[in-house]
Chains A and B, each alone.
Chain A
């Protein structure tokens, strides 16, 4: 059926709403946000037009020009020019332009038109344009361009109606193909000016709201203060809003486990269900609220258009540690997970900046580490009020995130010193209009993230938890054994061996053992500890069990370990894929291991000496 499907490519400048349009057309749930460079790969979807014809839609990364300067722009250029491996050039190009930003976006349309393929122009964000009093003479624009022009509102249901009707009809006549070179591209600006003068009336060049907000958000003093307050509130909220729900889920699973256990005959099966599934998985699942609260804030920030402002404020600071303002958004998404963060670096133009960002991204505390932090903080840090305003637990969490950031700055600075090529780096970053986040987009983002977490939980984390349970249950202790059964198991033996290298940083054998499954998925450290202690006879909640077996110094040491610890296997695999070099994988793993061990050693020895 794909043989006769009409192949349509969505192209345009970054942040013009291509992906929102793609989602509207295909019912897809691709990520949308308000900054340049959200879409970094080609994405495909299909839908059936009213005529019954199958339409195949390609969503492509945004590009300012065919003179590509970053890996994501190259994809778009190659697909449109028919040079993308295994991909025929599209039958129809839908060039999407932000109706409030036509000076810039029409120029790219003119570049696209010169390919000599059928093109339709979609004037997107027409609702925002009308609100700002922008008047566009669409028929005249269409006549002068010599191609069909339709109006769209990608964020509204039915907002692509005109576009669907147009692409479902006859293919438009292509403009004659023209050669593309720097000299002839300069003429395009004059053509855009003539078009705008003849067809567009704009009361003012910028949105009044943007001017007002930017006056404060980019203010030399207030701007930084606002940024600090925003970041701090996010981490306070993660703890304040997440913790009560976590306790509720933990209690619920404890109750459920006890009732299920009562129905099962005593034996290995009962052990697996109560110690492995309910205690192990239940403990990890309990931390889902924290993760969702964190994602809620990240999604709202992404949609608002504030993040590129933060990048602007911090660019100089990031430059001094060998990064760039453009690193800010990939690094912020690494707080969710380093994998999308590392892939997001494709929008960084300078290859040196890109590799530096990839290497420090895993130091940003990913959400998979949040359960470990939340568990240990809940067990060891009292919920004092500090200065009558802040929660001490929230402050410790903030400090751990800060430790990761400071570590990244240190590593970036060292790498910058070691770099031979000290040539200048470009920033050249567009700051979009502010936008009120759409509840629907945030809800979809949260749903997608929640599902990813549940899939991890029922996949890799479940498998590892069952394995950990088996390892800590078998073999059974010999007759007449006096110690706890778990000491005679495989896990007990393995853990005691591992405890030697980790003794100087204060890890007991259970903690050392939990580091192994954590290498596959961080959250599993919590499930593994829960299972090992449950099998070892500490029924009930994990936090009190830990508090009675582990010293404060050891707990702090484990917290610091996870702030710097070598990343999970999937992150290493993505580093290999994105940079193509095993050397970067080795560097990344190696420096983090050394850093984690050194930091934990210092914290453990200092805390032990003070206690």
Chain B
């Protein structure tokens, strides 16, 4: 599943970040910011217009990500 498809308020775990194209600086920055295997992640809010961008909680930090950015992040839901 992609982070952009994760329902609001549901906690999932990051699997990996995929490059959208060669030398993808956005993907690299996402990895640097903590989107790495095993990290819990949650969609906190969606913006009013077109539900884009998304507000993502990862670690102790909140990031606003556009859907195209969130789509680079593969997540899995672990049985709680």
Q: Give me the interface of A with B, judged by CB distance under 8 Å.
A: 64-65, 67, 69, 100-104, 107, 182, 185-186, 189, 202, 205-206, 210, 214, 218-221, 223-224, 308, 311-313, 315-317, 319, 325, 424-431
CB of B48 within 8 A of CB of A428, answer: no
Say how far B38's CB is from chain A's closest CB, in angstroms.
Answer: 8
**What 8 new A-B contacts, CB under 8 Å, besides A205-B59, A325-B64, A429-B64?**
A69-B25, A218-B47, A220-B48, A316-B49, A426-B66, A428-B29, A428-B65, A429-B63
B34–A107 contact, CB under 8 A?
Answer: yes
Cα distance A263–B57 in the bound complex, in angstroms? 70
Please determine whether B33 and A104 come into contact, CB atoms closer than 8 angstroms: yes
Contact call A218/B55, Cβ cutoff below 8 A: yes
A431 CA to B54 CA, complexed, in Å: 12
Within 8 A of A (CB), among B39-62: 39, 44-50, 52-53, 55, 57, 59-62
The reply to whether B52 and A315 contact each other, CB–CB distance below 8 Å, is: yes
A87 to B80, CA, bound (A): 53
* Of the residues A100, A214, A424, A431, contact of B63 by C-beta under 8 Å: A431
Query: Which of A67, A221, A316 interacts with B47 by CB under 8 Å?
Result: A316
A220–B53 CB distance below 8 A: no
Nearest CB to that of A205 among chain B residues?
B60
Q: Which residue of A lies closest to B26 (CB)?
A: A426
Asked if A214 meets B55 with Cβ closer than 8 Å, knowing A313-B48, A426-B26, the reply is yes
B48 nearest CB neighbor, chain A only: A220
Contact of B53 among A104, A206, A312 (CB under 8 A): A312
Residues on B with beta carbons closer than 8 Å to the beta carbon of A315: 47, 52-53, 64, 66
Give Cα distance in the complex from A206 to B44, angstroms.
Answer: 11
B31 at the interface (CB under 8 A from A): yes
Decide if A430 touches B32 in the complex (CB within 8 Å): no
Task: Determine the distance from Cα of A428 to Cα of B55 in the docked complex, in whole angstroms.
Answer: 10
| Distance between A99 CB and nearest chain B CB, rounded to angstroms | 10
Bound complex: CA of A224 vs CA of B48, how far in Å?
8
Q: Which residues of A contact B31 (CB under 8 A)?
A: 182, 185-186
Who on chain A is nearest to B49 by CB? A316
Chain A residues with CB under 8 A of B59? 101, 103-104, 205
A34 to chain B, nearest CB (A): 13
Q: How far is the CA of A305 from the CA of B76 in the complex (A)?
A: 32
Q: How far is the CA of A189 from the CA of B36 in the complex (A)?
A: 8
Q: A316-B50, A317-B49, A426-B69 are in contact. Are A202 and B28 (CB under 8 A)?
A: no
Residues of chain B within 8 A of A189, CB atoms compared: 34, 36, 39
Partner of B60, one of A100, A219, A429: A100
How far, in Å, is B52 (CB) from chain A's closest CB? Answer: 5
| B63 and A65 within 8 A (CB) | no
In the complex, how many angstroms separate the beta carbon of B69 from the nearest chain A beta carbon?
A: 6
Q: Is B1 an interface residue (CB 8 A)?
A: no
Assess the A428–B63 pair: CB atoms within 8 A.
yes
List of A residues within 8 angstroms of B6 by Cβ? none
Sample of 9 A–B contacts (CB below 8 Å): A69-B25, A102-B60, A103-B34, A103-B60, A107-B32, A185-B31, A223-B48, A424-B20, A428-B69
CB-CB nearest 6 A-B residue pairs: A103-B59, A316-B49, A65-B32, A220-B48, A218-B45, A431-B62
Give the interface centre of A102, A104, A219 by most chain B CB atoms within 10 Å: A104
Are B69 and A313 closer than 8 Å at their CB atoms? no
Considering the chains assembled together, what is the distance between the CA atoms of A65 and B33 in angstroms? 8
**What is the bound-complex CA distance between A83 and B28, given in angstroms?**
23
Given A325-B53, A427-B53, the answer on whether A104 and B36 have CB atoms closer than 8 Å is: no
A587 to B36, CA, bound (A): 44
Closest-by-CB residue of A relative to B52 is A316
Give Cα A317–Cα B48 distance, bound, in whole angstroms.
Answer: 10
CA distance in complex: A104, B57 (Å): 12
User: In whole angstroms, how far apart are the Cα atoms of A104 and B20 in the complex?
Assistant: 24
Q: Which residues of B contact A308 (CB under 8 A)?
A: 64
**What chain B residues lie within 8 Å of A221 (beta carbons)?**
48
Establish whether residues B64 and A427, one from each chain, have CB atoms under 8 Å apart when the complex forms. yes
Kindly report which residue of chain B lies nearest to residue A108, judged by CB atoms: B32
Set of chain B residues within 8 Å of A67, measured between Cβ atoms: 25, 28-29, 32
Q: Would A64 and B69 count as touching, CB distance under 8 A?
A: no
Chain B positions 61-80 with a Cβ under 8 Å from a chain A Cβ:
61-66, 68-69
